[in-house]
Amino acid sequence: MIRAENIFKSFGENEVLKGIDFVFEESKTNLIIGRSGAGKTVLLKILVGLYPPTQGKVWYKDKELYSLTKKQLRHLRMEVGMLFQGNALFDSMTIEENIRFPMDMFTEMTYKEKNMRVDEVLERVSMSGINNRFPSEISGGMQKRVGIARSIVLNPKYLFCDEPNSGLDPKTSITIDELISTITDDNKMTTIINTHDMNSVMEIGEKICLLHEGKLAWQGNNEEVLKSENQELHNFIFASPFLQKLVDRVGAKNI
Amino acid sequence: MYYKELVRQMYDIGLGSLPIIFLISIFLGAVTVTQFYYQMDGQLIPTSFIGYIVRDMMIIELAPTFSCLLLAGKVGSNMAAEIGGMRQKEHIDAMEIMGVNTSAFLVMPKVLAAILMIPLLVVVSAFVGIAGGYIASVPIGLFTHDDYVTGLRLFFNPHNVFIMFVKAATFAAILTSVSCYQGYFVKGGSIELGEASTRAVVYSVILILVADYIIALILT
């Protein structure tokens, strides 16, 4: 369980987050949704320890993230995997070296053991056999899969994904969502995904928090989304004119 | 991991900069000889003194300062752009998540590699500059081989070599740390990255010249 407690974050005069309180549930796929500029990425980076909040606390069970000692933080880092929006694969390294990187930093495994683990996770994301290729030599969808492989290589307890579907076609997006959801279930991870993809919301959102202008506007799960009367949620979901027309014609409950 | 990065940086800074250092040093030596010959023409100073002047000019000032000003442009802007690009592509964030002390991992190998390699480049520059002076003068008959070599052997003071190494190491530390700082803390997009790269060069050049003066005051 990860708990955000009264999180405020400002960049200069610009207050991005305004008192977020939310519990991300254990072994579930938690979603942070909202329009661009709502503060999703900032919240995710605060949760993962990259941006200290201006005010507030982040709890990993009973440990407060920003009060940990260096040693404790390093230990916690071993339990965290993150998929970045742009994948953040290191251009100068092969796929194998990219995936091996967290093991080089955190483990005493032998070279052979590390390579075996690389093969395992590549197989897990259906990307076997691309070990010696460079990130620039594979497609965006493949890079996402490799990014996922790197983020799960240490069997983390917590997986953070920043807009995993950005820049992908709808079919690949669905595949990536399914992959993250399956990995979450199989490894019993607490996954936090930052997205504005409605398909992700409806398919994998076991717990959802909607951010609007830096505030928590709604929380619930994917079954409650269409039943909610919340205006901000309604505006977010039916931002597409096509969906709005569909709703006008058949009614939200029939979709 | 850190050792591998150090070796990569040493290779990039050292071997990567060798051709350009070689080229400018030849011309530095050549221009120094030609202009001193012009200034001393008709005066009662033996032409053999030109070799002595070129040697000490190259060792004390031209090799360390010119080389490092050039490297501030070549290596410094490259470092700022490389680290800044990593910041923008979230590579630095990814490293933080993976437990890397990014400032140590990205900055220290570069600073250390520069402090190790740039003094060697400066030594090469000094030798090549002196050779450049010879090539520009003796073959076209400005003065004789014996005049030049005699000058090179005059009044040699090993303290000047010490000054050269102090300058080279100091300038190396300045140009790498300034450039890495500018890249590491870059914010925004490609325009800001370009600005950071420019700042890296400009600030490095200014600080190198200030340090040059301070070292000259202290050590001469």
**What 3 state SS string does chain B have?**
CHHHHHHHHHHHHHHHHHHHHHHHHHHHHHHHHHHHHHHHCCCCCCCCHHHHHHHHHHHHHHHHHHHHHHHHHHHHHHHHHHHHHHHHCCHHHHHHHCCCCHHHHHHHHHHHHHHHHHHHHHHHHHHHHHHHHHHHHCCCCCCCHHHHHHHHHCCCCHHHHHHHHHHHHHHHHHHHHHHHHHHHCCCCCHHHHHHHHHHHHHHHHHHHHHHHHHHHHHHC
Q: Rounded to a whole number, what is the distance in Å from the CA of B75 to chain A's nearest CA?
A: 18
Residue to mutate among B9, B93, B97, with most A CBs inside 10 A, is B97
Put simply, whether B90 touches A (Cβ < 8 Å) is yes
Q: How many residues does chain B have?
A: 220
Which pLDDT does position A167 carry in this prediction? 77
What pLDDT, in 10s, does the model give residues B108-123? 999 999 999 999 999 9
Residue in B1, B90, B99 closest to A84 by CB: B90
Mean pLDDT of A46-75: 90
pLDDT at A253: 57
Whole-angstrom distance, CA of residue A23 vs CA of residue A43: 13
Q: Which of A62-76, A112-126, A195-209, B151-165 has the lowest mean pLDDT?
A: A195-209
CA distance B18 to B34: 24
Nearest CA in chain B to A72: B99
User: Contact A248/A242 with Cβ under 8 angstroms?
Assistant: no
The pLDDT, as a whole number, for residue B144 is: 83
Closest CA to A141 of A98, A97, A177: A177
Statement: residue A255 has pLDDT above 60: no
Query: What would the pLDDT profile of B154-206 be if each residue is shown by its tens digit?
Result: 888 889 899 999 999 999 999 999 999 999 998 888 888 899 999 999 999 99
Q: How big is the A-B interface in CB pairs under 8 Å?
A: 39
Q: Does residue A174 have a pLDDT over 70?
A: yes
Q: What percent of chain A has pLDDT over 70?
A: 95
By the 10 Å C-beta count (0-12 exposed, 13-18 middle, 19+ buried), B201 is classed as: buried
ipTM of the shown complex: 0.81
Q: pLDDT tens digits for B51-99?
A: 888 898 899 999 999 999 999 999 999 999 999 999 988 899 998 888 8
**How many other C-beta atoms lie within 10 A of the C-beta of residue A171?**
9
Mind telling me how many Å the CA of B4 is from chain A's nearest CA? 12
Q: What is the dihedral of CA A82, A88, A91, A96, to 10 degrees?
A: 20
Average pLDDT, chain A: 86
**Which residues are paired to A14 by β-bridges?**
A11
Q: What is the pLDDT of residue B206?
A: 95
Q: Are strands A190-195 and A29-33 parallel, antiparallel or unpaired?
A: parallel
- Please tell me the predicted confidence (pLDDT) of residue A126: 85
